[in-house]
Amino acid sequence: MRPIHPAPRAVDGSHQVLIVGGGAAGIAVAASLLSRDPHLDVAIIDPADTHYYQPGWTLVGAGVFSAESTRRDMASLMPKGVKWLRQAVSRFEPEHNALVLADERVLAYDQLIVCPGLKLDWAAIDGLPQALGKHGVTSNYRYDLAPYTWELVQQLQQGQALFSQPPMPIKCAGAPQKAMYLSCDHWLRQGRLGAIKPRFMNAGGVLFGVADYVPALMEYVKKYAIDLDFGHNLVAVDGPAQRATFVRTLADGTQETLERPFDMLHVVPPQCAPDFIRQSPLADAAGWVDVDPHSLRHKRFANIHGLGDATNTSNAKTAAAARKQAPVVANNVLVALKRLTRLAHYDGYGSCPLTVERGKIVLAEFTYGGKLAPSFPAWLLDGRQPTRRAWWLKEMILPPLYWRGMLKGHEWLAHPTLATDTSQA
């Protein structure tokens, strides 16, 4: 049961629009708001001093990008006119249109946008925090560990290479197998794949959630001789002994525990909403920000919107989804402020460039329900097949599109769909 907090004390400041989170979603929605109305009073709350282009970490782990190329100082990315509050949020008081910061200051708002990202729960796997970065244990889900992935891939000559995937939801659901394919591609090119045995330990029951892309992926599973173990959830890691413990769910629903030795282990941690979201009035029963999947407005508090990884929408949790969501939220916040009249509609778009080998990508693009939503005609780029054009898109086009487009309020390939009237969103 969530704690009941008293009404907040005197307000220490107020803003027309308050944004919780300065990641991809937060900065993009702030930029989109100000591109529509430069006179808005907008503030972003985020204690971090560094912003990361996380989609690039897959390529850091494959030796394509440097880690340093994926980071920027947060101050350099704040849209002009935005006030940056370098604080953490302690709790929300939506009944009073206010929130409380970690230093107990109270901020009021007319409109609140919540996009703090999600929590990578490394400690949920016993022994993992102590093992990361040594003993062959790595993860492309951390800036400081992605270079270690590439180091391990280059050094491994033989043995067991395990790649884990936790239960959904996770950010970039394809990332666990991206690391696997790129590693296997390097070992194949070096003539080592026969001596190295790759194994995909997936807590889920399918290789990828959108069936149209599975045939192309399975060709690479066969090419790299990858063993697929579904229903296997990583629960413990013994780094010095190089042994991983999994709970296996059987067809009848029963479970068993098994251990596997490894020479390299790429781990993807369980993921959930941040604690201050899960324990707040904004959360649904599972702890995620409870929003309408199309308008992205909170289901109970009309002046609160959510986007990015912390919401309970069923889209893939990717930067591409946030890129599409930001203009929708910006538009709909301005409708709530009576600056615009037509609500925008989010269709669940998400994208996952599946790096199946160095130089080729299966470009998965889809909306709610797994409906394919390609950005390009099939003659130019068929996302269901591995192509060099898709690799060129990820390596050369998407990073500048992120830094210079999405985070600057330029809505290339992301212009929102507007309803004919406000009742239709």
172 part of the active site:
yes
Classified as helix, coil or strand, 321 is helix
Minimal CA–CA distance to 273: which of 234, 317, 303, 236? 317
Q: CA 116, CA 112: separation in Å to the nearest integer?
A: 12
CA-to-CA distance for 94 and 241, rounded, in angstroms?
Answer: 49
Active site residue 352: yes
First-last CA distance in the chain = 32
| Amino acid, single-letter form, for residue 221 | V
Beta bridge partners of 360: 357
Query: Which among 115, 184, 272, 352 is annotated as catalytic?
Result: 352
Sign of CA dihedral 36, 40, 44, 50: positive
Query: Tokens in use for 152?
Result: 């391990």
| CA geometry: angle 151, 170, 259, nearest 5 deg | 60
Judged on CB neighbours under 10 Å (0-12, 13-18, 19+), 390 is: buried
Out of 115, 172, 184, 272, which one is annotated catalytic? 172
The secondary structure of 11-57, three-state, reads CCEEEEEEEECCCHHHHHHHHHHHHHCCCCCEEEECCCCEEECHHHH
Pick from 270, 321, 394, 341: nearest CA to 115: 321
**Residues contacting 59, CB < 8 A, separation 6+:** 65, 355, 394, 395
Q: Which residues are catalytic?
A: 172, 352
